[in-house]
Amino acid sequence: MKKSTIYLAALALWGCSQAVPTQAQTWTVGNTVLTESDLVTGLDVPWEILWGPDDFIWATTRSGEVLRIEPSTGNYTSVLDLTDVVPDGGSGEPGLLGMAMHPDWANSPKVFLVYNYMVGNSIRERLVSYDWNGTALVNEDILLNTIPGFWIHNGSRLVITPDQKILMSTGDTGDGGDSSQDFAALNGKVLRINLDGTVPADNPVLNDGDAPGYTYSWGHRNIQGLCLGPDGTIYSSEHGQNNNDEFNIIEPGRNYGWPNVEGMCNTASEQTFCAANNVKEPIRTWTPCVAVNGIEYYNHPAIPEWNNCIIMGVMGGLAGANGNNDRVSVLHLSADGLTIDSEDQYFTSLNQRFRDVCVNPYTGALYVALNGSSYPGNGPNKIKEFRNLAYNAVINIAATQEMTVFPNPATDMVQIELSASMVGQKLIVFAANGDVVREITVQSTTEKLDISALPQGAYWLKATSSLGTLTKTFMKQ
């Protein structure tokens, strides 16, 4: 794959045109050219991003916010800000994690979330649902509560299957895998849950004579990615300890081996355990570990080279210990979806931890949530778009408000065009590390900003009105 820099006279976005000179990075994928752009900048460790049934991108941040983002402009609103979520403080892994949307959104607009909270001095994890009232998430309903949590290995991804069951991954909380093989524990599992929080009657029976419980599969260390294939196949990405990150197909009532088995059943003790415990082997492993993360199935004409593939975010190991392994991996599936034929790696030079991915079903664009360059995530973070601009797709969603910046890059002056809603609001200029370097009050829909005294480098703008928040990046040459 080749990266280059081009100048676009106009950047077509969802049927709209921004007739301003813009510098853009491009990447070649076979015969397809992808243009890279920053959709949102300045987020606090985005964890989940998904394409919502309302044609907006929804995102969770580890610090406790749920954001609703216009994919055409990057304008976003905070629709939930949890106050009792365990903040990560930059030193751990708990917080607001996975998210899923009710499959019958038109009649039941509900959002499902997983987050960590405190009980005394102990971290716990819960699954909840919220109602969407058109502007905010309201009416929290706790579906599954008091799952043990910790500063590491909390999971947790969510996906809803075609039979309207929630699948929720839970980590082993760093207990060495004791809970992963314990049927009585909810940790180290994939749980299967009715949309109302009850136990599905057709869940696996783990012990003869027992009633079904929440456990769907077990023997997991820390699943960080869940998605469905077109035929309903359940795929997962899972962190190994030092070796054998795994890519699995999840089947009901199956044991995935941790901590007795790491990766394939390829030692004498592992083979004995696998035979006795119905262990399902991964279809792909990575040694040393590269910190595999969020996954999505891709099949869209905009990027035909990625059809019938799993797109996976990779975080590159602890603090980049394994070199430049942070990337997006494209896993080419066999025709039946049961094996991986090959892997391609993209965007390694960005030096960013790729936490999650999602796909625009109209344009085929890929969005990635970035968590900085070091463990466990440092900001300010971005959501980036990689799009084939030659593929024409239009969706009629009017932009709430817009902001453009040109020229980009610039040397002495940038011109900023804003919607009327921003007049009278604060416009803040940030350095790439998040430090505020300038703050002005918007006087008109066209502002000129003198940047001649600023050092060379990357900067970003942030403006907020009652209609939401916009961010734009620019380079000072």
Name the band, by pLDDT with cuts 50, 70 and 90, for residue 322: very low
Distance CA 100, CA 159 (A): 6
Distance CA 281, CA 221 (A): 14
pLDDT at 244 over 80: yes
Q: Any idea where the domains of the chain sit in the sequence?
A: 3-387, 403-476
Average pLDDT value over all residues in the chain: 92
The two structure tokens encoding residue 388: 């084939």
Structure confidence by residue, pLDDT tens digits, 144-190: 999 999 999 999 999 999 999 999 999 999 999 999 999 999 999 99
The CA R_g of the chain, rounded to the nearest whole Å, is 22
220 carries an active-site annotation: no
282: Cα separation from own chain's centroid: 22
Answer yes or no: CATH 1.20.1600.10 is held by domain 3-387: no
Helix (H, G, I), strand (E, B) or coil at 439: strand
Residue 437 belongs to what H/E stretch?
strand 436-441
Q: Which pLDDT score is estimated for 90?
A: 54
Q: What's the Cα-to-Cα distance from 167 to each of 189, 203, 236, rounded to whole Å?
A: 10, 11, 11
- State percent of the chain over pLDDT 70: 92
What does pTM read for this prediction?
0.93
Name the band, by pLDDT with cuts 50, 70 and 90, for residue 324: low
Among 153, 220, 239, 300, the one annotated catalytic? 153
pLDDT at 321 over 50: no
Report which DSSP code applies to 410: B
Q: Residue 306: phi, psi to the nearest 5?
A: -105, 5
| Secondary structure (DSSP) of 222-277 | -EEEEEE-TT--EEEEE--SSS-EEEEE--TTEE--TTT--SSS-SHHHHHHHHHH
Structure confidence by residue, pLDDT tens digits, 427-445: 999 999 999 999 999 999 9
Answer yes or no: CATH 3.40.1410.10 is held by domain 403-476: no
Structure confidence by residue, pLDDT tens digits, 130-157: 999 999 999 999 999 999 999 999 999 9
Structure confidence by residue, pLDDT tens digits, 3-60: 443 333 333 333 333 323 345 799 999 999 999 999 999 999 999 999 999 999 999 9
Identity of residue 184: A
66: Cα separation from own chain's centroid: 12
Identity of residue 42: G
Name the band, by pLDDT with cuts 50, 70 and 90, for residue 287: very high
Identity of residue 69: I
Identity of residue 119: V
Structure confidence by residue, pLDDT tens digits, 196-236: 999 999 999 988 778 899 999 999 999 999 999 999 999 99
Cβ neighbours of residue 391 under 8 Å, at least 6 residues apart? 301, 302, 363, 364
